[in-house]
Structure 1
């Protein structure tokens, strides 16, 4: 393995731009790609893209595109992030390489939510540096749209140079009849359902279908959820198949002598697993809520719900209308949350998690310090002396306010530091939004 670095993270860095940072990292002895270039305008950006579209195959590793970044670190900080990605960087993807191969069969996988994913089993073929044998067909609509049939010669490419996908039929095989999508779960034989507006078919046997049970426990232990050291996806499957766990609450009753006889387990690994499970009891409520695997409740939604309701009991008692009133929670999420807590098996599992000491309410540090800023939206811009930007945002939220990512008519205050972005200043003035200093803000929350 080798490691090429491309970004330096830190406060008060000894440089002011992305490009200087890369050179500084090289000077410090880190491996940094030499292909980076500082472009003065968009024409130079596209020249760079066009060059590497042809020459990328000369590199000693696979690459699927070019990332364009704002060079000035202060501007990067001003632009900020969405929940998933920076606003100051954009990926340009090259056209994917295509090959043809034969479709030998179609199998069907069951996910942790019960969603069925059809998978194409292909005649092995070399594609973008690897041998490809399988490709996702996504859902019944995609199969029908492509009119794909077993025995067909198909075009395959890698989405983002990573995930193989079939994009069209190259030549019809001998199969005269169109592919018929399965009607029953391949794992538990339950009849599949498909709700209006849903792309996927689902197996409704939520508590009896093995891949769903294993998938939910695997989700529960992931790094962004309960982060249980010593426990991986394969071990979860071993525990389930041995009859030791049938839901994630069962993990907290495991004993070392039950685990040691399992394949690839020894005393030390069993001990690490038990310690990892015990340590997970300190994971904060918002991550536990995400770990429960409620449909449509990802990391961001879990944070919103945990911050608003403070405990699992309060969420369980909320109606659809109550939930919709929470910032960024819509109909679909609200209905899914209510359905989850209407299920008595889920309530029983949550009661067990409580009895084991899992964090199902916010700690003292998550409780609002005051509601002085309730109903007020703030945008933070510039460099500050009393607070860091993150500390400012936390102080706003701790006192009941909301942090906006950009200035709009809904913004109540802009907290301006040194080097505030000129475009933000202009927009704030246009919309007649109050511009305050960090001292003004401190007085608001100390009053």
Structure 2
């Protein structure tokens, strides 16, 4: 078991941190499954086992953790003038020290420039090479222990080669934008933005929720050591890399401030090309002895400063807060603000996430008050807080009942839910729309407007009701002529032959998305087998944890769900899992076998979904973002930034669709 743990952790380092996998996914899974089997047989899990990264039991609360070395804030500069003023202060102190210590003068200042990540600060403690604690920044002296959550981040080593004492390593936990995009494509409850997604995951008492977010982290500082280890920042960076920490590739070393200013202009121009949020850059003196001599003010190190980019923020009046009900019954506050321009976009609606978010941002008495709002990377704008600390506005009232059906709301975790699933209009319309969507039953011509009309006029409350619709009933509806009505009936008839994975996704099982439902379909092979699956059978499937397993079992124990499924089957819904293009036996004769492929642009001879299915049938892994791991980029018409990035990384680009089809045909 120790040998397997060591081997798997090394493979994780090459795959997640270096982007240089040395074994195929199938080989890795074979080793992982062997380890998991041993753990189940022995009842023993080693502390640094990679199986611990999927998340353990829900915690009762966070424990306070005192950092070995204080985590400092940074003074800020927002223009070159304030950066010059900081450097003048640095030079003055260096010159004063050198006059007093001519025998050991400090070197000429040189700089390290790092990106300023917009995530959550992490402080990791290693004792004799083993990760023993992880904590949030807190007030800089004490934070919250989040070791169980941090262990789910695969780029964080649970053991390191340095075994000589105790060290604290600082970095930033985050959710990459491409990961957020992929998560939201299948999530029952999409996340609003990357920063909140990461912070919410790391401060979630259920580590399995953290694991589901697939967070990442960059590390940039060793805050505490038993003994001096570095003379300059470059040595510190090399130490971090040697000890398997992920270090951002955009760290730069420079000899003068003019170079730093040029680099800042370049970074700000490219800030939205990164796959993660940044809100500036950090400039540090590179020499460690100079840092020690300059020391700290009451709040900041004198040897570093944060250069903040032009804010994508504005102030405006919070006018109104409405409470909207989603298809899962979750009730979410949405703010209406006085229209304001941010980066050329007029903003009038902002997210508030949940009532806890309102209280945390001191917005409870903010109606009619001036608030800060932020819009970043085209995500839904969010309210950051009040401009003043005065409670001078009207109170935002948390509703006790559903704003739609007036049922009593139930608190679950950070959110409030309406449990009147069969009688709450927004939930009904949301479920009908999800059931009919492209990735589900793909009922053409169906829309939210259609769902609303069918519910209000014909009493369609359940997906099964759709298959009872007749031509005569549809012709009674406003704006439903013979052709439109027949097209909908034809689309419903066509949907009856959709495969099992699509049907399972259409049902809207909590905590499952397209990937999970496809895994279920492939593993069990039939709808009856999925319905009968036990919790233990589900947990035994790779990447299905306790929460997902419990959600699936509970969902299919609901008599209303089972009756709905039975009605749909009686109407001819097949929900079969057949050996089609998505599941044919994969052989290694395809050029795409075990390759990572990205699709971009518009294909003219097949849809993107068809291309993805054929690639997966050929043994490819299709992802949404370009990285060093990408083997092929298939570029259709109007391909954009992904094509440019692939060319810059030297990735094999296929821009001829006929060539792409010919390569697919080699397999088929």
TM over 0.5, yes or no?
A: yes
Give the deviation of 1:176 after TM superposition.
6.1
Aligned to 1:117: 332
Give the deviation of 1:161 after TM superposition.
2.5
Distance 1:122 1:329 in 2: 41
Distance 2:535 2:501 in 1: 20
Distance 2:530 2:553 in 1: 9
Distance 1:171 1:105 in 2: 18
Distance 1:214 1:380 in 2: 41
Aligned to 1:184: 401
Select the residue among 206, 210, 218 that pairs with 2:425.
210
Aligned to 1:35: none
Distance 2:436 2:596 in 1: 39
SS in 1 for 2:418: coil
TM-score by length of 1: 0.63
Aligned to 1:235: 450
Number of equivalent positions = 320
Select the residue among 428, 439, 444 that pairs with 1:224.
439
Which structure 2 residues correspond to residues 58-97 of structure 1 after superposition, within 5 A?
65-66=272-273, 90=275, 97=312
SS in 2 for 1:119: strand
Contact map agreement 2:440 2:502 (CA 8 A) in 1: yes
Aligned to 2:467: 252
Contact map agreement 1:151 1:172 (CA 8 A) in 2: no
Select the residue among 484, 489, 508 that pairs with 1:269.
484
SS in 2 for 1:135: strand
CA shift digits 1:228-263 (9 cap, x unpaired):
111111111111011341111111111123223323
Question: Which of the pair has more CA radius of gyration?
Answer: 2
SS in 2 for 1:358: coil
Give the deviation of 1:154 after TM superposition.
0.6
Give the deviation of 1:159 after TM superposition.
3.6
Aligned to 1:327: 542
Distance 1:298 1:106 in 2: 30
Higher relative strand content: 2
Residues 106 and 371 (structure 1), Cα distance of their counterparts in 2 relative to 1, 3 Å cut: closer
Distance 2:618 2:347 in 1: 51
Distance 1:133 1:367 in 2: 43
Distance 1:288 1:98 in 2: 42
CA shift digits 1:284-309 (9 cap, x unpaired):
11011101011111000001111111
Residues 269 and 47 (structure 1), Cα distance of their counterparts in 2 relative to 1, 3 Å cut: farther
Aligned to 1:312: 527
Select the residue among 315, 322, 325 that pairs with 1:107.
322
Aligned to 2:384: 167
Distance 2:387 2:514 in 1: 41
Distance 2:472 2:430 in 1: 25
Give the deviation of 1:369 after TM superposition.
7.9
Contact map agreement 1:105 1:120 (CA 8 A) in 2: yes
Aligned to 1:426: none
Q: Which runs of 5+ in 1 are unaligned?
A: 1-40, 57-63, 68-89, 373-378, 384-388, 398-402, 406-447
Q: Does 1:152 align with 2:369?
A: yes
RMSD: 3.8
Aligned to 1:81: none
Aligned to 2:497: 282
Distance 1:382 1:370 in 2: 18
Aligned to 2:197: none
SS in 2 for 1:138: coil
SS in 2 for 1:193: strand
Distance 1:276 1:390 in 2: 21
TM-score by length of 2: 0.43
Give the deviation of 1:169 after TM superposition.
0.8
Q: Does 1:363 align with 2:582?
A: no
Q: Which runs of 5+ in 2 are unaligned?
A: 1-249, 253-258, 280-308, 588-592, 598-611, 624-668
Determine which structure has greater relative contact order: mean sequence separation of CA pairs < 8 Å that are 6+ residues apart, divided by chain length: 2
Q: Does 1:132 align with 2:344?
A: no
Aligned to 1:193: 410
Contact map agreement 1:152 1:172 (CA 8 A) in 2: no
> For structure 1, which segment, 211-220 or 240-249, has the greater mean C-alpha deviation from structure 2 after superposition?
240-249
Select the residue among 555, 564, 570 that pairs with 1:340.
555
Give the deviation of 1:200 after TM superposition.
1.4
Which structure 2 residues correspond to residues 367-386 of structure 1 after superposition, within 5 A?
380=594
Give the deviation of 1:317 after TM superposition.
1.2
